[in-house]
Structure 1
Amino acid sequence: MSALGNLVAGVAHEINNPVGFLGGNIQPALDYIKDIFGLIDLYQQEYSHPSGIIKDEIEAIDLDYIREDLPKLVGSMQEGVKRIRDISTSLRTFSRADSDRPIACNIHDGIDSTILILKHRLKASETHPEIQVIKEYGQLPLVECYAGQLNQVFMNILANAIDALEESNIGRSFEEMKNNPKCITIITKISESQQKIIITIKDNGKGMNEQIKLKVFDHLFTTKSVGKGTGLGLAIARQIVEETHGGKLSFNSVLGEGTEFLIEIPA
């Protein structure tokens, strides 16, 4: 994971250079377009009777449409560059290399970067509506932690929640899914004693039966089909939370209603 994190951070850093170049040039390009259209307007005012050749060319290129669409087109490029920059930032945040000691970090940045990386699994498709993520963030202090490892915990729990929601949609019509949407709720708060940060990740999926509850943190235990799960995710997540950070990882689950994971780490 450390080597993969370094690789991802390196790729994200390399993406930043061309993205920065594009982002820095789009606004001047919009300004130039505005100036050129201004000059064309001035020409049309001063020379209100253009030659037949110019009239034909204006009709051929559909100047009015270009005038309306070109700024929108460049604006959409600007949005695309912003999106790439956000993904790059999230990759660097998620793959943050841990030092040999805990460093003060913003927990919400780690959660947000993980959600963005998983965005492709949350989007609507032909088979299911969008999975909504509801964030109820409290006011948290910076937390001394191994951010890269905690991000792995968020990734495992959120990916499992998405899996559970996808499985709970099997056999349901698209209309049923729309009427009873699936969502993940993330709540963060500091305990009343101010000694612990509590992060709750809750889904309204199919939940777990008693047999699965007993084994959920067991090494190599998985409910997924061959090739889809390793049985390591939650076992490693518990190790990171409890052994590395001195916290607690627990869960509540009701069959048919959903599952809630609670991450508690010292503040």
Structure 2
Amino acid sequence: MTPTAQTYPTKSKVLIVDDDPQNIHILLEILKNDYAIVAAKNGTKALELAGKIPQPDLIVLDVMMPDMDGYAVCQAIKSQSETRDIPIIFISALDAALDKVKAFDVGGVDYITKPFQREEVLVRIATHIEIYHLRQQLYQQTAQVTEKNKKLIQINEDLQTQYRQMKATQLQLIQAEKMASLGELMAGVAHEINNPTGFIKANIEPAMTYVQELFDLIDFLLQECPSNATHIQDELEAADLEFIREDLPKILSSMNLGVARIGDVSDSLRIFARRDQDNKVAFKLEDGLNSTLLILKHRTKANADRPAIEIVKYYDNIPEVYCFPGQINQVFMNILANAIDAIEEANQGKTFAEIKAAPNQIVIETKMLGNDRVQVRIQDNGCGMKPETQARIFEDGFTTKEVSKGTGLGMAIARQIIEEKHGGMITCNSTVGEGTIFTIIIPKSN
């Protein structure tokens, strides 16, 4: 199908550039019924009309002109971003191949030699205007698609942001529910412990006084008894009074120590499960570490498979920091529990004697960094982690443990607590077969 100018409802605009009025007249007669025509007799006027709105849809350009030849005019038009896309058809009596090649080199889309045929001119002009319009449509559609892609990219980024916010909120809810449940449980346990231990502690001292009074009374009665009362002497020897006199105070003292120990455990539960307020409060991180270690003591003490895990403390007696104590204690619990897990995994396949020769160890160090930051460093000599595991250790839902033994939220929550809640930093450095170091840095002030 031959393209025609009637493809579009309004007439396309054609600029004729020729220094010969007769040639302009001939082309005008050929094109006037199908196109809106403007004409220029020199290159300067052509450049002016090419940039005038509405711009021409096509330019018919003579090669041989006095002030500026067609090649120079074409180069000037193509050098401007506003006009470079307008198709240019050269029309000339020059018929040499080099002339035609040069026309295409400077940006022409076609070349018509004089004398030209009416039908040839109409077909070529209609074809290139059609191509030009299709190209313009393509540009517009491409721009629309690009704009839509930008919007889709923005929507995708917004969705990703919302997803991250949702995950952060989910972690916060899990953390809040976990700490609330843990706090209630430990507060209840501490309360149940404190009542009977308080009763026992209050009665040990009077009991010791009463025991001493009973011993004094026995001594008095023995002095008043006849020396020949052999049956009394027999009963005293059978009861081993001297042993009772020596051992009973020791028993009461041991009970007192036991009650004090229970009190320490109760205090540790209270410190660990401390309910956070809306604002940060002053807290000694070393107290949090000690309470967490005491709660985990059942896992670090010796058992049938291994000696006790050595806990080495290098405390620098750092000052109180402003923080959320309950959340900080949860971070300590996650790291220390994971350290014990790593040590247990490293112990697999080893004998008691082998483990004793190279003891399991957790080293905890606290120190000041300058005047405004504190550092807590927790190191274990467990199994360590591969680089790919270490790279994902703080990801939500990532875990190397069995389904029933881990949720993959512990270290993600720890990162959120340290970095987002406290403006600090938590890092992990691990080597397979050597162990893992977690370093926590948080500001000292609120």
Give the TM-score, by structure 2 length. 0.57
Task: Tell me the CA shift for residue 45 of structure 1.
Answer: 4.1
Task: Tell me the CA shift for residue 38 of structure 1.
Answer: 2.6
- 2:86 corresponds to which residue? none
Cα-to-partner distance string for 1:77-116 (whole Å, 9 max, x where unaligned):
1121111111110000000000011111111111111000
Task: Tell me the CA shift for residue 50 of structure 1.
Answer: 5.6
The separation in 2 between residues aligned to 1:222 and 1:20, in whole angstroms, is 43
Cα-to-partner distance string for 1:177-222 (whole Å, 9 max, x where unaligned):
111101101100110x212110000011121111211111111211
The separation in 2 between residues aligned to 1:64 and 1:209, in whole angstroms, is 65
Task: Tell me the CA shift for residue 240 of structure 1.
Answer: 0.5
Aligned partner of residue 328 in structure 2, secondary structure: helix
- 1:21 corresponds to which residue? 199
Decide which of 214, 238, 249 is 1:36's aligned counterpart.
Answer: 214
Task: Tell me the CA shift for residue 126 of structure 1.
Answer: 1.0
Preserved CA contact (<8 Å) 1:137 1:187:
yes
RMSD, aligned α-carbons: 1.5
Aligned partner of residue 318 in structure 2, secondary structure: coil
| Aligned pairs (5 A) from 1:43-54 | 43-47=221-225, 49=227, 51-54=229-232
| Aligned pairs (5 A) from 1:35-114 | 35-47=213-225, 49=227, 51-114=229-292
- 2:142 corresponds to which residue? none
Aligned length: 266
Tell me the percent identity: 54
The separation in 1 between residues aligned to 2:308 and 2:181, in whole angstroms, is 33
- 1:152 corresponds to which residue? 330
| Aligned pairs (5 A) from 1:205-216 | 205-216=382-393
Q: Which amino acid aligns with 2:443?
A: P
Large movers: runs of 4+ above 3 Å = 42-48
Decide which of 389, 392, 398 is 1:221's aligned counterpart.
Answer: 398
Q: Which amino acid aligns with 2:340?
A: I
- 2:32 corresponds to which residue? none
Task: Tell me the CA shift for residue 4 of structure 1.
Answer: 2.6
| Aligned pairs (5 A) from 1:171-182 | 171-182=349-360
The separation in 1 between residues aligned to 2:403 and 2:247, in whole angstroms, is 50
- 1:131 corresponds to which residue? 309
The separation in 1 between residues aligned to 2:368 and 2:388, in whole angstroms, is 32
Gaps of 5+ in 2: 1-178
Cα-to-partner distance string for 1:143-183 (whole Å, 9 max, x where unaligned):
11000010000000000001111111111111111111011
Q: Which amino acid aligns with 2:436?
A: T
Gaps of 5+ in 1: none
Aligned partner of residue 99 in structure 1, secondary structure: coil
Task: Tell me the CA shift for residue 13 of structure 1.
Answer: 2.9
Structure 1 window deviating more from structure 2 (124-133 vs 9-18): it is 9-18
Preserved CA contact (<8 Å) 1:5 1:97:
yes
Q: Which amino acid aligns with 1:77?
A: M
Aligned partner of residue 175 in structure 1, secondary structure: helix
Q: Which is higher, the Rg of structure 1 or of structure 2?
A: 2
Q: Which amino acid aligns with 2:337?
A: A
Cα-to-partner distance string for 1:55-86 (whole Å, 9 max, x where unaligned):
23223322222222211221221121111111
The separation in 2 between residues aligned to 1:223 and 1:67, in whole angstroms, is 59
Preserved CA contact (<8 Å) 1:6 1:97:
no
Higher relative contact order (CA closer than 8 Å, sequence separation 6+): 1
Decide which of 402, 418, 426 is 1:241's aligned counterpart.
Answer: 418
Q: Which amino acid aligns with 1:158?
A: L
